[in-house]
Structure 1
Amino acid sequence: MAYVSVPKDLTKVKNKLAFNLTKRQLICFGIGAAMGIPVFFLLRNVIGMSNAATIMVLVMLPAFMFAMYEKDGQPLEEILMNIIRVKFLRPSIRKYETENYYESDPDKADSDSTNEKGGKKRV
């Protein structure tokens, strides 16, 4: 009898479109190819084949990272947005501010104007 492995967490299962790649991966690889291939053909006669291929790979690398990198279920753009939010957009030192209950006591204002016996003070 044939056995089929079924993952315990079905939320991690992703639909594959073509070449065993997801839609996100196909789009990112297409963007990378659209950026890298013209760079290669423009630079191969100027700086040589191996240097042009190296520059093409470096140009395509960000698109490849956006397609493939995922940590804790978050893609690379969410991780980068979290880093930017923590490092640049939010203050690094947060003030710990509390409201002092005794400074905001409404009975304190009344107690200043009365004497110990409960009567009004004379001014």
Structure 2
Amino acid sequence: MAASYISVPRDLTKVKSKVMFNLTKRQLICFGLAALIGVPSFFLLKTVVKVNTAVMGMMVIMMPFFFLAMYEKNGQPLEVILSHMIQAIFKRPKIRPYKTDNYYDALLRQAKAEKEVENIVRFSQKERSGKQKVHNAGRADQGRAESGKGSHKKSTEK
């Protein structure tokens, strides 16, 4: 008797569960969509053009679905790769300068902000104390005026 060996992949993350006909769920869905769109398009094209041209048209219509089902690079399916390409080409700016956040500059910005806050607080305290002095001075003037009136009354009464 000869010993038979079964190959086991080393990286188990690359193993995909097969659902039916040794195809994954993703592949079954994509092939089903390709058939749902491709077969009716063949019959519609066959009424207008020759059968060979209709078959070629059906293949062109079905090819994107086959690529979506089968193509994979670095563990990423085709739509993920396409979305990365679209972001890199169209959405993100072409020139992305490298910007660093210097720790010393951050400390200087923080110190400047703290100094500004301190100046605002000091100014508001001066403003409050100035208003209180004016208010207190007004009270003192009123008190002097009243005491002056009282002393004037007393002097006239004598």
Query: TM tier, shorter chain?
Result: 0.7 to 0.9
- Report the equivalent of 1:53: 55
Structure 2 distance, partners of 1:30, 1:74, is: 21
Deviation, 1:23, is 0.5
Structure 1 distance, partners of 2:85, 2:101, is: 32
Deviations 1:20-73 (A, max 9, x none): 111000000001111110000111121010000000000000000000000111
From 67, 70, 74, the equivalent of 2:69 is 67
Question: CA, structure 1 residues 98+26, in 2 after alignment: closer, same or farther (shift >3 Å)?
Answer: closer
Structure 2 distance, partners of 1:97, 1:61, is: 43
From 20, 33, 36, the equivalent of 1:34 is 36
From 16, 38, 43, the equivalent of 1:14 is 16
Give the SS at the match of 2:19.
coil
Instruction: Confirm or deny that 1:25 pairs with 2:41.
Output: no
Give the percent of matched residue pairs that are identical in Structure 1 and Structure 2: 55
Provide structure 2 residue ranges, at least 5 long, that are not aligned to the other structure. Answer: 113-158
Question: CA, structure 1 residues 97+13, in 2 after alignment: closer, same or farther (shift >3 Å)?
Answer: closer
Structure 2 distance, partners of 1:99, 1:31, is: 50
Give the SS at the match of 2:23.
coil
Structure 2 distance, partners of 1:97, 1:79, is: 27
Which residue identity does 2:48 align to in structure 1?
Answer: V
Q: TM-score when scaled to structure 2? A: 0.62
The ranges of structure 1 where at least 4 consecutive aligned residues each deviate by more than 2 angstroms after the TM superposition are 95-102, 104-107
Higher relative contact order (Cα pairs below 8 Å, separated by 6+ residues): 1
Provide structure 1 residue ranges, at least 5 long, that are not aligned to the other structure. Answer: 108-123
Q: What aligned pairs does 1:93-112 form with structure 2 within 5 A after superposition?
A: 93-97=95-99, 101=104, 104=108
Which residue identity does 1:35 align to in structure 2?
Answer: I
Question: CA, structure 1 residues 49+93, in 2 after alignment: closer, same or farther (shift >3 Å)?
Answer: same
Question: CA, structure 1 residues 47+3, in 2 after alignment: closer, same or farther (shift >3 Å)?
Answer: same
